[in-house]
A and B are shown apart, each in its own frame.
Chain A
């Protein structure tokens, strides 16, 4: 099951660049929350603060509190442990090129020392079914490499890989931006099904996508969160003029 995320006074820097300023919000459990905003507004940085990936950059710095469930992720646990509970899917599909499909999905478990073969078989099958890829690859699990699939399939493979470690939260940074419309639709349908089991946060440039998949939407601008509300309200009658200017394309 998913858990809620509570963000309090989050600030983030890239060196001297104050990328995120005083972010406060509550991301509800078992829902999909979309984050929209123009390029460079900080939404990707924000998401990377949720699984402590921001600090893997040598000049990245974070202050504030992020609580996932009851856990303060910057105080109570190590980054490695958080990343096992908070999965991430990136903009460009990035399956491990030297591994087969099976090994790719099992990678998160195997590399963390989990080696029970029968369990792994089950988990791989379940994850691939959950990411709507099982039927397409079930005969080639160990024969084909992860990189030999099409773009849309690779991205679903990355989703399966993230799901295999059974996270509570799934972060998706523009997961469909590199894909064609059919693959995008498949990914969106997938998000719809996954919502009931995980808490999903999705960063997207595509407002129609946010409107299609997310119950709540947050609008980021220049490192601040301008408005955070039910998706249908944001897109039919937003409260802040800046939000309206952005979504109607009057920006700039």
Chain B
């Protein structure tokens, strides 16, 4: 086996990305926990994750850039490094989403508790599960697991749309609950984003392992149902 140093650099890159992934996953778990327990100290932990994640994002991008410039990677190595760069960005956004959720939790402290017709715990479990699976696909370089994640996105999207409908109704009919409803809506939005990022990560893993570009399969395959005809 030649290019041992290069292989080692690729392994190091993977390791660092996995550390980043761990931090992002942890951020989401903590944000969901903060929502469940309304514990502000957990929100502080999420903020700490955010700082570490941002720093790591810069480091990983720099390492990837150096490898591209110095080692002229080809084929699977090239696809791997490109995937790392993209997954890096998605994980950072996951961290941002976790921070947004924890900010919503903080502002909920000022509000009265309210029963809302949305199952945020279930939605958050699903989103966190998607993140975990997409990272497992990355660790094991398994395109099948990645494809499994792609199918889970539809469920989260459906839940988000339902939450939108239900919460809009609440805001119309029970105006005094508007702040809580808005908060809940924003949390659902953040969770939907997390699911999207997990999907992106899965697509990047498929690109790396199989060289196939499966992004935007829905919009490429068929036009959206409400599309206006071209003028």
Closest to B1 in A: A250
Closest to A244 in B: B75
Query: Contacts A236-B211, A237-B211: A249 and B75 contacting too (C-beta < 8 A)?
Result: no
What CA separation (Å) do A72 and B147 show in the bound complex? 51
The smallest beta-carbon distance between B75 and chain A, in angstroms, is 5
B72 contacts A by Cβ under 8 Å? yes
B6 engages A236 (CB within 8 Å): no
Chain A residues positioned under 8 Å from B74 (CB to CB): 207, 235-236, 247-248
CB distance B75 to A247 under 8 Å? yes
Residues in B whose Cβ lies below 8 Å from that of A208: 72
Q: Is the CB of B3 within 8 A of A250?
A: yes
Binary contact readout B72-88 vs A (1 if CB under 8 angstroms, 0 otherwise): 11111111000000000
Q: Is the CB of B1 within 8 A of A248?
A: no
Chain B positions within 8 Å of A251 at CB level = 2
Task: Return chain B residues, CB-CB under 8 Å to A235.
Answer: 74-75, 78
A252 within 8 A of B: yes
Contact A248 to B77, CB < 8 A, known contacts A208-B72, A236-B211, A237-B211: yes
CB-CB < 8 A to A244: which residues of B? 75-76
Shortest CB–CB separation between residue B67 and chain A, in angstroms?
12
Q: Which residues of A contact B3 (CB under 8 A)?
A: 248-250
A238 close to chain B: CB less than 8 A: yes
Q: In the complex, which residues 222-252 of chain A have their Cβ closer than 8 Å to any Cβ of chain B?
A: 235-238, 244, 247-252
Number of interface residues of A (CB under 8 A): 13
CB distance from B56 to the nearest CB of A (A): 26
Shortest CB distance A39–B (Å): 14
* Cα(A250)–Cα(B73), bound, Å: 11
- The A129-147 residues at the B interface (CB cut-off 8 A) are none
Of the candidates B1, B72, B75, the one whose C-beta lies within 8 Å of that of A236 is B75
A236 close to B79 (CB less than 8 A): yes
Interface centre among B2, B3, B76, B79 (most CB of A within 10 A): B76
Give me 11 A-to-B residue pairs in the complex whose CB atoms sit less than 8 angstroms apart, sorted by A's number: A207-B72, A207-B74, A236-B78, A237-B76, A237-B79, A237-B211, A238-B75, A244-B76, A250-B2, A250-B7, A252-B2
Which 10 pairs, one residue from A and one from B, show the smallest C-beta to C-beta distance?
Answer: A237-B211, A249-B3, A247-B74, A252-B2, A244-B75, A248-B77, A235-B74, A248-B74, A249-B2, A248-B75
